[in-house]
Structure 1
Amino acid sequence: MAENAKSMVLPVVLAAVIAGLGRVIFQRMVADRAARENRISVPPDASTRAKISAALRGTLS
C-alpha cells in the first residue's frame, strides 16, 4: 500500500505567517529607532494639547 502524501499547505502557511510577523517586528523596530532619533524637544502649543486631550477622551470629531 502506498504511503499518504504529506500536504505542503501547513508548512507554507506557517512560513508565510512567520515571515509576515518578522517583517512587522522589523518595521516596528525601525520606526521606534527613527522616533527616538528624531524626538521633537519643543513642547506642543495649546491647540495641539487640546486636540490630543480631546482624542484621548474620545470627543474628537
Structure 2
Amino acid sequence: MAEKPKSVVLTVVAAAVFAGLGRMVLQKVKADRAARASKVAGPLDEKTRAWISDVVRTPRR
C-alpha cells in the first residue's frame, strides 16, 4: 500500500519539473524576442550596412 502514494508523488514531482522547464523555455523565448526587438534603433541605410559588413569581414590584427 505504501507503493501507491510514492508513485503518485513521483508523478506530481515529474509534472512540476516539466512544467517548470517549459516555463523557463517560454521566458527565454520572450526575452530573446524582446532583446532582438529593442537592439535595432532603426532601419539601416546601404552605406551603414556595407560599413558593418566590411568591419565584420576584415581580419583583426
Query: Which position in structure 2 is the counterpart of 1:28?
Result: 27
- 1:6-51 superposed Cα distances (whole Å, 9 cap, x missing partner): 1210010000000000000000000000000011748xxxxxxxxx
Tell me the TM-score normalised to structure 2 length: 0.55
Between the aligned partners of 1:5 and 1:36, the Cα distance in structure 2 is 50
Equivalent position SS for 2:3: coil
Structure 1 unaligned regions, length at least 5: 43-61
Question: Which structure's relative contact order is higher, taking Cα pairs within 8 Å and 6+ residues apart?
Answer: 1
Query: Which position in structure 1 is the counterpart of 2:3?
Result: 6
The sequence identity of aligned pairs, in percent, is 18
Tell me the TM-score normalised to structure 1 length: 0.55
Name the one with the larger helix percent.
Answer: 2
Give the alignment's Cα RMSD to 1 decimal.
1.8
> Aligned letter for 1:6?
E
> Aligned letter for 1:10?
V
